[in-house]
């Protein structure tokens, strides 16, 4: 399986953008080593601003850089990017209609040994409440690269969840992505799995194989943009397969599952089940342990999909 480290792809994409566009700048809050943007600093030292352990100021400075005509990418752990800078991102970035590209790394269980203090299960929900904000979680190196480019030239702020670790390539290099347009990874007729992010799209793909082996045809959708969510695609597959299971590394509340529930409830009330965190805090552990602990594994998706089908 071809794997690439997501943080390397993120940084290389920013370098490629910056080679062609002098407006691209990068801000960090003492996590340059973790996010891998050191390579950007080596190439563009004058366009890299390490703001120290001061995330609120970092996001405010990013807004100022945008007011000065720059396209700032600011990243930190997703827990801080969301909870700690919310008012700065909300007012100085979004309310001011500026162009802050905020990236939250180690979303949800990806925080592993950093544990509950660093494990954001709520960042999508927090961010979805900001008017007009684009909220994304790429699933593989190709979608990451393409969506970072889309983000750079989107007129407005964006929030992207980023799993930094090596991730299996799903898409071909030629695949094109649009903000707000989900990707059908596998067609199906019995049930639809809608997943977001590298960890949960991978689990959904595994679940699809297990279901397939048992004679159940599951469609699988990579919903890389949670806001604006692809309502057309949701409704198309709700009608086609009759039921949906959402899969997210996030609280069931206010995340992808909620976005899909809102769409279905107002348009076509098909049966929905949600894989996600059940109103709990995070805790330490390896990824495998945490996936099982919070019932996010392919096996849980499989049993939920079967329940979805049998409950109709």
When asked if residue 84 is in the footprint of other proteins (CB under 8 A), the reply is no
Q: Does 64 bind other proteins (CB under 8 A)?
A: yes
Show the site string, 9-48: x = touches other proteins by CB under 8 A, - = not: -------------x--x--------------------xx-
Closer to other proteins by CB, 65 or 218: give it: 65
Nearest approach, Cβ of 64 to other proteins (angstroms)?
2
Q: How far is the CB of 52 from other proteins (least distance, A)?
A: 7
**CB nearer other proteins, residue 95 or residue 168:** 95
DSSP the chain: --EEEHHHHHHHHHHHHHHH-TTEEEEESS-HHHHTTHHHHHH-GGGEEE--S-HHHHHHHHHHHHHTT-EEEEEEEHHIIIIISHHIIIIIIIITT---EEEEES-GGGGGGG-GGG--SSHHHHHHTSTT-EEE---SHHHHHHHHHHHHTSSS-EEEEE--SEEE--S-TT----TT--EEEE--SSEEEEE-SHHHHHHHHHHHHHHHHTT--EEEEE--EEES--HHHHHHHHHHHSEEEEEEEEESTTSHHHHHHHHHHHH---EEEEEEE-S-------HHHHHHHTT-SHHHHHHHHHHHHHT-
Nearer to other proteins, 59 or 218 (CB): 59
> Least distance to other proteins from the beta carbon of 32, Å?
15
Instruction: Determine if 72 is a binding residue for other proteins (CB under 8 A).
Output: yes
Task: Report in angstroms how near the CB of residue 90 gets to other proteins at its nearest.
Answer: 8
Nearer to other proteins, 29 or 136 (CB): 29
Q: Which two tokens stand for residue 136?
A: 């994304």
Please choose, out of 83-91, 105-113, 200-208, 224-232, the segment that lies near other proteins by the rule CB under 8 A: 83-91
Among 59, 233, 275, 277, indicate the residue that binds other proteins (CB under 8 A): 59
Return phi, psi of residue 62, to 5°: -60, -40
Residue 57 binds other proteins (CB under 8 A): yes
Q: Considering only residues 88, 143, 196, 241, which one is a binding residue for other proteins as defined by CB under 8 A?
A: 88
Q: Is 55 a catalytic residue?
A: yes
99 lies in the binding site for other proteins (CB under 8 A): no
Assess contact for 252 and 124: CB atoms under 8 A: no
> Is 157:133 a contact under the CB 8 Å cutoff?
yes
Q: Select the residue interacting with other proteins from 1, 20, 45, 69 (CB under 8 A).
A: 69
Confirm or reject binding of residue 95 to other proteins (CB under 8 A). yes
Active site residues: 55
- The residues of the shown chain that bind other proteins, judged by CB under 8 A, are 22, 25, 46-47, 49, 51-52, 54, 56-70, 72, 87-88, 91-92, 95-97
């Amino acid at each position: 399986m071809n794997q690439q480290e997501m943080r390397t792809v993120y940084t290389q994409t920013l370098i490629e953008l910056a080679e062609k566009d002098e407006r691209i700048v990068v801000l960090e809050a003492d996590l340059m080593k973790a996010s891998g943007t050191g390579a950007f600093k080596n190439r563009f030292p004058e366009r890299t601003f390490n703001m120290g352990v001061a995330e609120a100021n970092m996001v405010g400075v990013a807004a100022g850089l945008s007011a000065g005509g720059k396209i700032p990418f600011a990243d930190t752990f997703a827990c801080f990017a969301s909870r700690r800078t919310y008012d700065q991102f909300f007012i100085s970035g979004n309310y001011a209609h500026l162009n802050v590209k905020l990236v939250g790394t180690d979303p949800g269980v990806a925080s592993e040994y950093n544990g509950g203090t660093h494990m954001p299960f709520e960042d999508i929900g927090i961010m979805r409440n900001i008017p007009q904000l684009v909220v994304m979680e790429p699933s593989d190196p190709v979608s990451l690269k393409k969506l970072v480019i889309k983000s750079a030239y989107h007129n407005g702020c964006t929030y992207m969840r980023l799993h930094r670790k090596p991730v299996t390539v799903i898409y071909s290099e030629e695949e094109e992505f649009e903000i707000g347009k989900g990707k059908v990874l596998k067609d199906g007729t019995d049930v639809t799995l809608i997943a977001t992010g590298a960890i949960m799209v991978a689990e959904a793909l595994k679940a699809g194989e297990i279901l397939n082996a048992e004679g159940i045809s599951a469609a699988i959708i990579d919903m890389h943009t949670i806001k604006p969510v692809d309502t057309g695609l949701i409704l198309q597959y709700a009608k086609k397969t009759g039921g949906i299971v959402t899969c997210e590394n996030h609280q069931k509340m206010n995340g992808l599952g909620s976005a899909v529930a809102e769409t279905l409830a107002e348009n076509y009330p098909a049966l929905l089940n949600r894989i996600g965190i059940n109103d709990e805090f995070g805790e330490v552990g390896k990824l495998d342990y945490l996936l099982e602990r919070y019932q996010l594994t392919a096996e849980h998706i499989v049993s939920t999909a079967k329940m979805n089908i049998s409950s109709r």
